[in-house]
Structure 1
Amino acid sequence: MQIRTDGVTWQEIDGELVLLDLERSVYLTTNASGALLTKLLVEDRSLDDLADALVAQFEIQRDDALRDAQAFVDELVEHQLLR
């Protein structure tokens, strides 16, 4: 999975990201973990890749990381921000 590049822009502000779908006028803000995952999703990544990054960065349990990564991906899908 990967963040759409057509009509989607994002900017980091104080460790958080604001993603904007210019075509649909939809925006999404993220916390620090969402910012990390968004940056990873500039390239094609798996759910396991995302979970591994959360474990490494925030020293959380693997099960929690998988659940958090899936919730973030679900949010991106809901807002049609993934391709």
Structure 2
Amino acid sequence: MKMRSDGVTWQEIDGELVLLDLSTSAYLTTNAAGSLLAKVLVDGAERGDLVAALVGEYGIDEARAAGDVDDFLEQLRSRDLLLESESK
């Protein structure tokens, strides 16, 4: 999966991101953890990659990181900002 880039703009301000879908005016603001996840998703990543990124950056346990990743992905999906990859 990866962040949708067509028609989407984003700006980083003090480690946080604001993403805007120009066609629907849907937007999402993130904290520093969301900013990290979004940057990982730009080139494409699997859920496990995102969990590992949070664990590595913040030293949190894997269960908490997984919950945070799932919440973030749902926010992206609800705003049509995530491109899902097909199953391998």
TM-score, with normalisation over the residues of structure 2? Answer: 0.92
Q: Distance in 2 between matches of 1:80 and 1:53?
A: 23
> How far 1:81 moved relative to its partner?
0.2
What SS does structure 1 have at the residue aligned with 2:18? strand
Q: Which deviations, in whole Å up to 9, do the C-alpha atoms of 1:27-57 show, x marking residues without a partner?
A: 1100000000000110110010000000000
Structure 2 unaligned blocks of 5 or more: 84-88
Alignment correspondent of 1:70: 70
CA–CA distance in structure 2, aligned partners of residues 78 and 26 of structure 1:
10
Q: CA RMSD in A?
A: 0.5
Identity across aligned pairs (percent)? 53
Question: Paired residues, what number?
Answer: 83
After TM superposition, list the pairs within 5 Å mapping 1:9-20 onto structure 2: 9-20=9-20
SS in 2 for 1:68: helix
Q: Work out the CA distance in 2 between the residues paired with 1:70 and 1:47.
A: 8
Q: Secondary structure at the match of 2:9?
A: strand
**Unmatched runs of 5 consecutive residues or more in structure 1:** none
TM-score, length basis structure 1: 0.97
